[in-house]
Amino acid sequence: MLQYLFEQCSDYAIMTDGYLPPSSAAVDEFLALPEGKTIQDKFIFGLLAPDDTLIGMLETIRHYPDEKSWWIGLMMLAPEHRGKGLGSQFYQAYETWVAQQKAQFVFLAVLEENQPGFTFWQKLGFEVIRIAPPQQFGNKVHRRYVLRRQVAEGKVPTRLTP
């Protein structure tokens, strides 16, 4: 199910790495962790269509880069569902949930090349706090904008569970 979503979102893999997602992309996503974090710190949320088809995912790490913060490592939405407000709603449900977990900030990084993604996050109130030095991703090298948003408290979503 998740692997199929990675394949649907191959445009992102090509932009990031310069090639299609590997057949291990979903497994790799579950296992990828920043230094000092464990699998217990990782959460992957799915966004389901009414027919229970996986149309989006959000991967996050708690208490990273500090105890008050959560880091979004990846958020994907199937291409045919983009531009309809679902990504914003998905993020808002996530933020409501992390507020319940006592998070004060959400961080993420956006590739400099990913202007649609950068605009998406800015519209949600994320601000650039720094530009990370160039880093190798597959066949490509990217600079990344590191963004931060202060968490707003709100209602608990009814369907967002890890």
* Token couple for 64: 């990273």
Task: Flag whether pLDDT at 147 surpasses 90.
Answer: yes
pLDDT for res 152 = 86
Whether residue 29 is contained in a domain is answered as: yes
Whether residue 156 is contained in a domain is answered as: no
The string of pLDDT tens digits covering residues 18-38 is 999 999 999 999 989 999 999
Give 79-88's long-range contacts (Cβ < 8 A, gap of 24+).
79/8, 79/9, 79/11, 81/49, 81/55, 81/56, 86/47, 86/55, 86/56, 87/56, 87/120, 88/120, 88/123, 88/124
Residue (of 64, 91, 95) closest to 75 by Cα position: 91
Q: What is the mean pLDDT of the segment spanning 58-78?
A: 97
pLDDT for res 92 = 96
Q: What is the mean pLDDT of the segment spanning 9-17?
A: 95
β 105-111/69-77 pair status: parallel
Cβ neighbours of residue 60 closer than 8 Å, sequence gap 6 or more: 42, 43, 44, 45, 70, 71, 72, 73, 94, 98
For all residues of the chain together, what is the average pLDDT? 93
Residue (of 117, 118, 116, 110) closest to 135 by Cα position: 110
Whether residue 68 is contained in a domain is answered as: yes
Task: Flag whether pLDDT at 159 surpasses 60.
Answer: no
pLDDT for res 154 = 54
- Give the single-character DSSP code of 18: S
Whether residue 51 is contained in a domain is answered as: yes
Q: What is the mean pLDDT of the segment spanning 6-16?
A: 95
Whether residue 104 is contained in a domain is answered as: yes
Whether residue 10 is contained in a domain is answered as: yes
pLDDT for res 16 = 94
Give the domain extent around 90.
Answer: 2-150
* Token couple for 9: 């979102």
- pTM for the full predicted model: 0.90
Whether residue 16 is contained in a domain is answered as: yes
- For residue 22, give the 3-state DSSP assignment: coil
Here the CATH number for the domain that contains residue 80 is 3.40.630.30
Distance in angstroms (rounded) separating the CA atoms of residues 3 and 84:
23
Whether residue 15 is contained in a domain is answered as: yes
Task: Report how many domains make up the chain.
Answer: 1
Q: What is the mean pLDDT of the segment spanning 52-70?
A: 97
Helix pair 115-123, 86-100: axis angle to 10 deg: 60
